[in-house]
Structure 1
Amino acid sequence: MNILYEAPGTEEYMALRKAAGLPAKEESTVLTAMNHSIFTVIAREDHSELIGMGRIIGDGACYYQIVDIAIRPSHQDNGIRDLLMKELMSYLEQNAPADAEVIIMADIPLIGLYQKFGFEFTYPKSISLSKRV
């Protein structure tokens, strides 16, 4: 397996999202999103198949959000999610200001993973809201 610091191709990103059970995105939307990411890390098989990824978005100063933690189902028990989170956190520790806020919207089964990296529930101080346009 190879860890690379680059955005995946549009088609392979869309295929990975589908394989990981994430909602589909339009190709033009994906291209814009990848070009506006602050940091992206991907995992590829030795023969170059995209097997996982994660990225950071935000304003690059006050707020960062970890998004698109996606792993192919055939590789989900191989520790890749932990490895990608370590890479994302390492980037933030080296590049984000000390008082920056890092946000993650967690799927319920993955809460323990994110807590392992220091993430805490915002409730009851705050609560996240979301809307799809």
Structure 2
Amino acid sequence: MTYELREELPTAERFLELREAAGMTTRDREGVERGLPNSVYGATVVAAGTDETVGMARIVGDGGSVYHVCDMVVHPDHQGRGLGSRLMDAVMAYVDEHAPPNSYVNLMADVDGFYEQWGFEATRPASKGMFYRVDGE
């Protein structure tokens, strides 16, 4: 199977489907529909011939001094084919072209040994990553 990398965001529906398929934390559809258009950058991987989006990654932030890489996922049926690396290459090409010197680029990783190849480092002991999640009703 061949794949095409596109510099675009997935639909809200496909965004939710990909996260679910990969076992990622669920997101509220309303929040996704509101948030996706506010992305700084988005990339998808599409299976050639079917036009099915099988992977995605995006950057959120202020577009100047802070960039957060998030929602990086490849559908489990298409993993192990270098698609995650293609997505990260696209994300980092965007950062290299658009981020001013001394910009802060961060991410929350749930895999070891993947993001380091693009220069990402653990923040500890200088700082620690934290999060707060708004409870659903």
TM-score in terms of structure 1 length: 0.95
Q: Please show how residues 90-109 of structure 1 align to structure 2 within 5 Å.
A: 90-107=93-110
Q: Please show how residues 79-90 of structure 1 align to structure 2 within 5 Å.
A: 79-90=82-93
Letter of the structure 1 residue corresponding to residue 40 of structure 2: I
Q: What is the aligned partner in structure 2 of residue 22 from structure 1? A: 24
1:33-69 deviation digits (Å, cap 9, x = unpaired): 1111000000010111111000000011111100000
Q: What is the aligned partner in structure 1 of residue 119 from structure 2? A: 118
C-alpha RMSD of matched pairs (Å): 0.8
Measured in 1, the distance between the counterparts of 2:118 and 2:72 equals 14
Q: What is the aligned partner in structure 1 of residue 129 from structure 2? A: 128
Letter of the structure 2 residue corresponding to residue 125 of structure 1: A
Please state whether the residue corresponding to 1:103 is helix, strand or coil: strand
Q: 1:63 aligned to 2:66?
A: yes
2:78 to 75, 78, 84: 75
Q: Which runs of 5+ in 1 are unaligned?
A: none
Shift of 1:10: 1.2
Letter of the structure 1 residue corresponding to residue 9 of structure 2: A
Measured in 1, the distance between the counterparts of 2:9 and 2:128 equals 30
Measured in 2, the distance between the counterparts of 1:38 and 1:95 equals 10
Shift of 1:111: 2.8
Letter of the structure 1 residue corresponding to residue 122 of structure 2: F
TM-score in terms of structure 2 length: 0.93
Measured in 1, the distance between the counterparts of 2:119 and 2:91 equals 13
Please state whether the residue corresponding to 2:112 is helix, strand or coil: helix
Shift of 1:27: 1.6
Letter of the structure 2 residue corresponding to residue 36 of structure 1: N
